[in-house]
Structure 1
């Protein structure tokens, strides 16, 4: 496929030549050996500039000049020039392929997922994560590991962190469960799962420690410091370790003020109140979904948003798999509040408090 003169000069400019240099070089190629004055006449290079332009092309190896009655110019051997252009072309091709690769396989430098071979490493990290928690910890563990994490769970509870504790026991027996007094010191709510389960600790929506249950054929652990991966573990905990099992201890009162960490529990409880005509005042602590800045919203709840087939008030929390939100009437107008990972709402809720119900 042939390339016209304009396309050729533009390509040479892309390769690093100035517009005058590209024009002069193409002219020399077309004329062969020719006086400099003729090169100037046949190209668009002004006469006062032609000598400087050709001198630069000669320095770059594109042409050579020589005396014959007057100063002449001719193209140098093409091998060096074409090799340079092919090298540049290959670099562009490689860059294009690399851009496509990075587009299809984005970097995960902002997330950390580590595979470890010892359970001791998993439980040690779980202890550290729990002690550093700010708002919420979800834990699924065997009764044999309860004592190991008990000091960390107590410290987090004393710091105001909500602890959801799911305990599984051998063959589902209840004798090895901690006493209610012990549970009151270390968690906000506890449930008894009567089946063997993996070890899972989920902290503040960002950190996860996971290890398979003792009957697994492979011993390994997973440590996660990433919101997206942790969200998957959160739903695993909610649907298999928590929602389907009866509480054996709960610290929360049924009278306001009532705190919620997960918006789904709040929607489940306040939805029926709104249907009955109650006035519900709430306070939301969270983050602005556009700026990421901390934001507090206070006002009267006007509506709940639930997509899908969930029957608000009676459905299991696991059935709230679609969009779930609250609409709060504030002094500045209505504000829509979403839960973990909210995108279309104005605020992502981290803690919701039902302040009063009338």
Structure 2
């Protein structure tokens, strides 16, 4: 049921147009100030306080003071009983209210399960618009069109974006043009089979939903670095590593920037073995106290627990699944640089830039 239809049904159930609009808005916003409710609805600012108090008297909401007047929806039991005593149309409205009320408050939970892919896409869009460093995203052309505007904004801010496109069904897709990809991502690849929607933003948030042909339709929203790290490896191994590259803005000459330390190690190890001298700037966090830091110096070497090298001189990704670090010599001494989730190293790198290769 669409929002306008739900408002009309609530009017039929005895609410005024302003009361119905305010109540549906509160269901969407959750706990919110009177000012924000007025802004998100058609209720004029001077009327919002009377409207909220009328809804409270009818048992639809409760108000409370928190610097200013706030409102939140009551348990919908009484509302549902009233609506379900009416015609089938009211029955549909009651189910809709129950669904909206029972949706978890995304801001208050580490992990939220939602019922609609639109909820996942809307949350992904808002996270992309506020991303600061990196985005990994796998999606269909339709989903790409929906999120393109947010991706353009993030790309313009200098966010590193890895984008994997795949079809909805068995048919191949018409890929976006090079110009569209250049405006929305740093790198793009194409996977030729349907896959779930996934977006991993700034190593913290994950938005996930099964593909359209799945028998189970739901969405998962996770605000947790440990879970995001698991989805990061899913993205690398299932959506990225073995698939065709269709676009890349990565540079072959300095400055060369990485947001993934493991990818950086794979590409600089052959240079170090040939005797090259690399000067690097690392941005990230001090693992001891979490403060933001920037270090610049000479790369002394790379370290990892796997087995190095193949016939083409690169190290396979599985060999870098364990502990990996870069030793950097700076003016303040030698420091150990780790990647996502670094604990043993001095720094967790969020961005590494090769400034010079000699």
- Do both share a fold (TM > 0.5)? yes
Deviations 1:77-109 (A, max 9, x none): xxxxxxxxxxxxxxxxxxxxxxxxxxxxxxxx9
Q: Distance in 1 between matches of 2:144 and 2:300?
A: 42
Gap runs ≥5 in structure 1: 1-108
1:175–1:199 CA distance, 2 compared to 1 (3 A):
closer
Deviations 1:171-229 (A, max 9, x none): 66554211111100000000000111000000000000000011111110000111011
Is 1:131 matched up with 2:139? Answer: no
Kindly state the Cα deviation for residue 309 of structure 1 after the two structures are TM-superposed: 2.4
Deviations 1:238-295 (A, max 9, x none): 1101111121000011000010000001000110111000000000001100011111
Q: Which residue of 2 aligns with 1:337?
A: 337
Q: Which residue of 1 aligns with 2:284?
A: 286
Q: Is the 8 A contact 1:239 1:318 kept in 2?
A: no
Q: Distance in 2 between matches of 1:292 and 1:197?
A: 35
Q: Distance in 1 between matches of 2:319 and 2:150?
A: 32
Q: Distance in 1 between matches of 2:112 and 2:262?
A: 30
Q: Is the 8 A contact 1:172 1:193 kept in 2?
A: no
Q: Distance in 2 between matches of 1:352 and 1:172?
A: 39
Q: Distance in 2 between matches of 1:138 and 1:284?
A: 20
Q: Distance in 1 between matches of 2:211 and 2:249?
A: 28
Is 1:316 matched up with 2:280? Answer: no
Q: Which residue of 1 aligns with 2:258?
A: 260
Kindly state the Cα deviation for residue 311 of structure 1 after the two structures are TM-superposed: 2.6
Q: Is the 8 A contact 1:111 1:226 kept in 2?
A: no
Deviations 1:63-85 (A, max 9, x none): xxxxxxxxxxxxxxxxxxxxxxx
Aligned positions, number: 250
Q: Is the 8 A contact 1:169 1:177 kept in 2?
A: no
Q: Distance in 2 between matches of 1:123 and 1:333?
A: 46
Q: Distance in 1 between matches of 2:272 and 2:259?
A: 20
Q: Is the 8 A contact 1:202 1:230 kept in 2?
A: yes
Kindly state the Cα deviation for residue 352 of structure 1 after the two structures are TM-superposed: 0.3
Poorly superposed stretches of 4+, deviation over 6 Å: none
Q: Distance in 2 between matches of 1:110 and 1:331?
A: 43
Q: Which residue of 1 aligns with 2:15?
A: none
Q: Which residue of 2 aligns with 1:211?
A: 209
1:115 equivalent among 113, 116, 138: 113
Matches within 5 A, 1:1-358: 112-170=110-168, 174-311=172-309, 313-358=313-358
Q: Distance in 1 between matches of 2:268 and 2:172?
A: 33
TM-score by length of 1: 0.68
SS in 1 for 2:336: strand
Q: Distance in 2 between matches of 1:137 and 1:240?
A: 16
Q: Distance in 1 between matches of 2:187 and 2:338?
A: 23
Q: Which residue of 1 aligns with 2:5?
A: none
Q: Is the 8 A contact 1:285 1:351 kept in 2?
A: yes
Query: Comparing 253-262 with 303-312, which one deviates more in the overlay?
Result: 303-312
Alpha-carbon RMSD: 1.6
Q: Which residue of 1 aligns with 2:71?
A: none
Gap runs ≥5 in structure 2: 1-106
